[in-house]
Structure 1
Amino acid sequence: MLMGFVAFTLSLLLLPFILLHQVHASSHGTNYVTTNVDGICTSSVIIHGYKCQELVVTTKDGYILSLQRIPEGRGEVSGTRTKKQPVILQHGVLVDGMTWLLNPPEEDLPLILADNGFDVWIANTRGTRYSRRHISLDPSNPAFWNWSWDELVAYDLPAVFDYVFKQTSQKIHYVGHSLGTLIALASLSEGKLVKEVKSAALLSPIAYLSHMNTALGVVAAKTFVAEFTTLFGLAEFNPRGLHVHALLHSLCAYPGIDCYDLLTSLTGKNCCLNSSTVDLFLRNEPQSTSTKNLVHLSQTVRDGFLSKFNYVKPSYNYMHYGEVFPPIYNLSNIPHDIPLFISYGGKDALSDVHDVGNLLDSLKFHDVDKLSVQFIKDYAHADYIMGINARDIVYNVVLSFFNQTFDR
C-alpha cells in the first residue's frame, strides 16, 4: 500500500534532529525550534540589509496566509526604478518560505532576484507556522486541516496571485519548487492564474511521482500509515508531534534504514550542500501539513496520474464531484503560449527523470519558443534551494529566462 508514502519519506527528513534534540509537540500544537522569532523578514531578510514587509492574504475559504515582500535590492535607493516586475516564490510540502533563505544572501534566490531589479514575494501555504490562522477555525479544530493540495490549487495560489497583481498592476513571474510546481501546473491546467502569470520557472518538478524510488521508498510503502492515521485521528500531520515521533522511531528499526543519512536517502545524493545550511534547515523545517494532503500526494504516487482527491467510496466522490471517480488534471490544457522553464536533476530521487519525461510529454504541444528545459546531471532535490552553486548553475539561468521579452 502506498497510502502515506510521501508522508513518511518527507517527514523522515527531520528525524535526526528529533532524535538528537528531543523536540516534542502535541498533534494540535506547535513547538518549533527556530531562529524565526518575529517572522521571516526579521530573521532572514532585514538582517542582511534588505527591506522586507510582512503581509497577509485571506483565501476565499477563509485561511489567512503569510506573505513576505522584498521590494528592492540591498543598498538600492528607494524609488529609483518604477514598475518592477513581480516574482512569486512558492515552496514545497512540509516546509515554508524560509526554505528559500537558508544560505548566505548572495546565494539565496529571493535576494538575488531583488538585487537584480525584481519585486519579490514569498508565499507560505496554509498550515505552516505563519499561516496557521483562519477567519473562523482554529488549528486545534480538525476542520482546519480538512484540505489537500486541491485547495492549494483552488484557493491559496490564486489568492496570492490576485493580491500581488492588485498591488503591482503587472503580470507576474513565478518560481516553484517541488509541490510548488505541481500546484502551479494544476492551477494553470484549470484556467487559473492564466491572466496574471507572465512566466513560470519550475524547479525539481513533481507533477508525476510514479517513478519516485528513494532508498526509503520500499520500506515506507510497506508501513501502516493509513491505519496509523485512522487510529489516532490525525488531521494535522505535525512531524514534531508525539504520534509521528513514535512512528518514526519504529521505522528506524527496519534493517538497512540509516536514520542519520535521511537527506540522501530521501532526495537522492545532493551534490552541493553546505553542512551549516543543512543544520539551519533542520532548525527551521519541516512544517505541519494536513494528513489529507499527504494522502493525496500518496494517491498520486500510487495512481501515476494527476487527479483531485479520491475519497475512495464512489458515493463520496459523487457527493464532491458529481462523478464516481475524481476529475483529472489535464496538463495539456495549460495554454501553450505561457513561457515555462523546467529544470530537473539527474540524481533527484523525488523528481525522477522518467516522471519529468512524462511531464514534458504532457507539454509536447507547447509553443516551442515558450518552453525551456534544463537538465543538471549531478543535481538532486535539495540542491535547487540549498546548493552552494545554485546561483551559477540554476538561478542565473532563471534570471535570464525572466529577462526575456515575452508577449503575454
Structure 2
Amino acid sequence: MPKNPVRRSEHIGTFSNSLLSDVTNLHGYIAEAHNVVTPDGYTLTLHRIPGRVETKRRNKNRTIILHHGLLGSSVDWILLGPNHSLAYLLNDAGYDVWLANARGNKYSKTHVTKSVYSSEYWDFSWHEIGLYDLSSIIDYVKENTLVKSQIYFVAHSMGAAALTVLLSTSPQYNTILNLVILLAPLVFMQQAKGPFRIISELQSLDYNATLKILGENQFIPSEKFIKALTRKFCKGDIKLCENPLLLLSDGGKVISDSTRMKNILAHVPAGGSTKTIMHFGQLISSGRFEMFDGGSTMNIKKYGIASPPKYHLREIKLPVALFSSHDDWLSTVPDIIKFLSYIPNPVVHHIVQKTSKEFSHFDFVWGEEAPELVYKHIFDILKQY
C-alpha cells in the first residue's frame, strides 16, 4: 500500500451514458454513478439505485452493497428485470442499494497513471480487489449515506472471496458492516471441478505457458484452448460454451429463456485479470485460502517467507450467512463446510434445495429460480438483523 494513500471520490450524477443506467431506466428505476479512486490508483464506478423513476428518492435507513462475482459487473444484479432482480427487490423493500464494480471490468477500467494496455495495470487479483477496492467502496458508501444507516453486504463468487480478504486482513471493517451474505463464495476450492481444475493443473505444470494460453494481462483465453475445453466439458449450447465465463462455471448449461440468454451474453464476461483466474487455480491445487504464490524468491521478498501466507479467517467476527448448491462446480458444499469451520460467527448455511433443474454457480445471481430459492431466504436473514 502507498505510504500516504488518498481515496478520492466524486459523485458524477445520473450516469446517462452508462449501459447500466439505460437498462435501469428501461426497467423504471433511477441509477447514479459514483467514481471512487483506490489507494493504489484504480478508478472504480459504483452504481447506486436510489429508487423508482416515479417516486424519485426516498429516505432510507438501511444501506446494502452488492458485489458481483467472477468476471462480472454491477449489471449482473439487474439481469432478471424488475420484480425479480435482487437489486430491485431490495430497493422496493426500502434499502439504499449500491452496486460495486471491481477493477478491470468494463465500468472500472481506468487508472490515474497506468495504461490499461500495460502489464502493470493488470497485475492484480482478488486480493487487491478486497484490500483496496472494497475498503474504498465501503468507506465511500459510509460517507455518503445516513449517519445511522446500517450497512449490509451481499457478495457473490469472486466478490465473496475479496470481501473475505478484507475482513480477515482489516478487522475494523467487521464493525462497520452489520452483516455479510456470501453467495457461492470462492474461498476454499479444493473440490472444484470442470475447466477450472484443468487450468489449475496446467499452471502447476507450467505457469508461464498457462499465462500465455489465458492471456498475459487481461483474461482473454486463446480460441484453441476454449475449443479444447468445449469438447471436453460443454453440456449445453455451443454458443454458450464459447463464452469463457459460462464454460468455466457450468459447461454452458442451457438457458431456456431466449431473452435472458440474450441479456447474459450481452453483458458477460465484463472483464478481469488473468492473475485473478490463476489465483483461484492456486487455491484448487493448494487446498488453502492463501495469498498469491509468486514463487519462493518473490514470496520471500513480498511476504518474508517462501510460501504464501494463509488469510486469518478467525478475524472475521461479524455475522456471516453462506449460500451454496450441490450443483455448483466452483463453490462446492464440502468446501463451504470447511469455510464454516474457520469463521467464528456463521449464522446460517443455506444449501439450495434440489429442483428439476441444476442450480449452478451463476444461478445465484441471474438464475430464473433465484428469487424463490435464494432471494427469499436473503430477505428472511436481513429481517433478523
Which TM-score applies when normalising by structure 1? 0.80
CA contact (8 A) 2:323 2:351 kept: yes
Say which SS state the counterpart of residue 153 (structure 2) adopts: strand
Partner residue of 1:56 out of 31, 35, 51:
35
1:328 aligned residue: 310
Partner residue of 1:352 out of 320, 329, 332:
332
Q: Cα RMSD between the aligned structures?
A: 2.7
Say which SS state the counterpart of residue 144 (structure 1) adopts: coil
Q: Distance in 2 between matches of 1:309 and 1:153?
A: 13
CA offset at residue 184 of structure 1? 1.2
Q: Which amino acid aligns with 2:340?
A: L
- CA pair 355-66 structure 1, distance change in 2 beyond 3 A: same
2:349 aligned residue: 373
- CA pair 346-273 structure 1, distance change in 2 beyond 3 A: farther
CA contact (8 A) 2:234 2:247 kept: no
1:311 aligned residue: 294
2:136 aligned residue: 159
1:103 aligned residue: 80
CA contact (8 A) 1:270 1:383 kept: no
Partner residue of 2:218 out of 233, 237, 240:
237
CA offset at residue 112 of structure 1? 0.7
Q: Distance in 2 between matches of 1:387 and 1:186?
A: 27
- CA pair 142-37 structure 1, distance change in 2 beyond 3 A: farther
1:207 aligned residue: 187
Say which SS state the counterpart of residue 54 (structure 1) adopts: strand
Q: Distance in 2 between matches of 1:361 and 1:404?
A: 22
Q: Does 2:171 align with 1:171?
A: no
Q: Which amino acid aligns with 1:322?
A: G
Say which SS state the counterpart of residue 194 (structure 1) adopts: helix
- CA pair 332-108 structure 1, distance change in 2 beyond 3 A: same
CA contact (8 A) 1:90 1:122 kept: yes
Q: Distance in 2 between matches of 1:151 and 1:234?
A: 19
Q: Does 2:302 align with 1:299?
A: no
Partner residue of 1:399 out of 367, 379, 382:
379
Say which SS state the counterpart of residue 323 (structure 1) adopts: coil
2:64 aligned residue: 87
CA offset at residue 393 of structure 1? 2.2
CA contact (8 A) 1:274 1:387 kept: no
Say which SS state the counterpart of residue 396 (structure 1) adopts: helix
CA offset at residue 132 of structure 1? 0.7
- Select between 176-185 and 110-119 the one with higher mean Cα deviation: 176-185
Which TM-score applies when normalising by structure 2? 0.84
Say which SS state the counterpart of residue 380 (structure 2) adopts: helix
CA contact (8 A) 1:202 1:340 kept: yes
Q: Distance in 2 between matches of 1:244 and 1:270?
A: 21
Once the two structures are superposed, what CA deviation does each residue of 1:323-369 show, in whole Å capped at 9, x if it has no partner?
2222211212211xx22221111211111111111111213x42xxx
- CA pair 108-280 structure 1, distance change in 2 beyond 3 A: same
CA contact (8 A) 2:250 2:328 kept: yes
Partner residue of 1:137 out of 111, 114, 120:
114
Say which SS state the counterpart of residue 362 (structure 1) adopts: coil
CA contact (8 A) 1:207 1:359 kept: yes
CA offset at residue 250 of structure 1? 4.7
| Structure 2 residue ranges without an equivalent (≥5) | 1-14
CA offset at residue 278 of structure 1? 2.3
| Structure 1 residue ranges without an equivalent (≥5) | 1-35
CA offset at residue 390 of structure 1? 1.5
Q: Which amino acid aligns with 1:373?
A: H
Say which SS state the counterpart of residue 222 (structure 2) adopts: helix
- CA pair 78-237 structure 1, distance change in 2 beyond 3 A: closer
- CA pair 148-103 structure 1, distance change in 2 beyond 3 A: same
CA offset at residue 177 of structure 1? 0.7
Q: Does 2:175 align with 1:195?
A: yes
Q: Does 2:96 align with 1:148?
A: no
Q: Distance in 2 between matches of 1:37 and 1:229?
A: 40
Partner residue of 2:207 out of 226, 231, 253:
226
Give the structure, 1 or 2, with the largest relative contact order (CA under 8 Å, sep 6 or more): 1
- CA pair 309-42 structure 1, distance change in 2 beyond 3 A: same
Q: Does 2:18 align with 1:44?
A: no
CA contact (8 A) 2:364 2:374 kept: yes
- CA pair 83-294 structure 1, distance change in 2 beyond 3 A: same
Q: State percent identity of aligned pairs.
A: 26
- CA pair 272-199 structure 1, distance change in 2 beyond 3 A: farther
2:164 aligned residue: 185
CA offset at residue 264 of structure 1? 7.3
CA offset at residue 255 of structure 1? 5.6
- CA pair 251-233 structure 1, distance change in 2 beyond 3 A: closer
Q: Distance in 1 between matches of 2:327 and 2:158?
A: 18
Partner residue of 1:249 out of 217, 227, 249:
227
CA contact (8 A) 1:268 1:350 kept: no
CA offset at residue 49 of structure 1? 1.4
CA offset at residue 108 of structure 1? 0.6
Q: How many residues align?
A: 356
Q: Distance in 1 between matches of 2:269 and 2:214?
A: 21
Q: Distance in 1 between matches of 2:109 and 2:50?
A: 25
CA contact (8 A) 1:267 1:380 kept: yes
Q: Does 2:364 align with 1:387?
A: no
Q: Distance in 2 between matches of 1:268 and 1:349?
A: 9
